[in-house]
Amino acid sequence: MPNRTKKEKSKFQFEEGLLDQLLEEYEGPDDMFGQSGLLESLKAKLVERALQGELTHHLGYEKHGTKPEGSRNARNGTSKKRVKTESSQIEIEVPRDREGSFEPTLVPKGVRRLEGFDNMVIALYSRGVSTRDIQSQLKEVYSIDASPDLISAITDEILEEVESWQSRPLDELFPIVFFDALVASVRDDSGRVVKKAVYIALGVNTDGQKEVLGMWIGSAEGAKFWLQILTELKNRGMKDMYIACVDGLKGFPEAIAAEYPDTKVQLCIVHMVRHSLRYVGWKERKQVAADLKLIYRSPTAAEGEKQLGIFREKWDNQFPSIGDSWERNWENLCTFYEFPEEIRKAIYTTNAVESLNHSLRKILKNKKALVSDNALKKLLYLGLKKASEKWTRPIQNWGGAMQRFAILYADRFPRDI
């Protein structure tokens, strides 16, 4: 029997969960590997970020920072350069310094081919672009002994983009805004793993397009922290929102009223039903769920309130807390009745932002704990950017929704639309 050469196992192990997500989010090979696909865009951006980090290390101070004493050198714009990888060509912006002494290590002068760069990009993406992985890949692929300071500068360049995105001005009006949070594990300064809440605000602009308004990291989800977020959104230019879609967090409607008193709150019906069924045994659960559906599937608020009364007559003896909860929150549960069926589907549940957060949780699933808040920011920011690339179409029947908004909120409707 002939001898077979044993296949060498790669030293670089990729996290299957993140690779699966990468494939799920795209509809075909062109979206992944095409000239304008994810990998080509990511490669170019990553090279540019790395080069900016190298220049920072060379100059000895951050962009817009204070120059070291005696230094006269400074940044001096960029120049375009096309470089080849195994599969394609990418165009990058190479930073320059005033004295002309900057010699890029990743893309040296005169070099126009980056062998092995495709594998490095995939490894960086799948591992969350950690400093250690970048260092090992640079050593393996390019035989570059990069110092920890240089690697930190390279990876921290991503944070500049994150901060710019987080503080960007917002449109004055987002007719619908969804709010939700997810939990991630992060190591604190003592090395102890703690739970952090990541708050996400997802807006629908006047064109019907979804847009992530921001991402915030706090110690735990709470109405007080949400109030700080709402204040920031207003300071960044968002003067109004017609409908705020939220889960059942206690005190959140009051926080919204404090910053946006004219905004109507829609509590998530799906969360409300789940909360109600927690009190019900398996034997009655199917029937209770069916009777609750008669409430939120009613054509009008009056009919929904009538069905709630019927529900209470039938179930109050066994589950009085369910009827109490629906009546107590009815004002914020019935907002969606004011709109046609197409718009109701968009606002009666926070599924839009929950779906986004589900994709982020898949990124975090195989991460036991991130090393810092900044590491968490970088990883989730890349996930948000990737998810938003699929939002190419407005919400269905958005034109009809805007006509309804123009009538209901005539005094707040923009004149230029």
d(CA 74, CA 40): 30
Q: pLDDT category, 167, cuts 50, 70, 90?
A: very high
Q: What is the pLDDT of residues 180-199, one digit of tens each?
A: 888 899 988 888 899 998 99
Q: Mean pLDDT lowest for which of 7-21, 70-84, 143-157, 390-404?
A: 7-21
Model confidence at 168: pLDDT above 90:
yes
Confidence at residue 42, expressed as pLDDT on a 0 to 100 scale: 73
Rounded average pLDDT over 391-407: 86
Contact status, residue 383 vs residue 389, Cβ threshold 8 Å: no
Residue 203 has pLDDT above 90, yes or no: yes
pLDDT of residue 294: 95
CA–CA distances in Å: residue 330 to residues 42, 295, 347, 402: 47, 11, 15, 25
- The predicted-structure confidence for 143-160, as pLDDT tens digits, reads as follows 555 555 655 555 566 688
Q: Which residues contact 343 (CB under 8 A, 6 or more apart)?
A: 336, 397, 400, 401, 404
pLDDT of residue 153: 58
The domain locations on the chain are 16-62+74-166, 176-408
pTM over 0.85: no
* Position 228 pLDDT exceeds 80: yes
* Spatial separation of the C-alpha atoms in residues 276 and 188, rounded to whole Å: 37
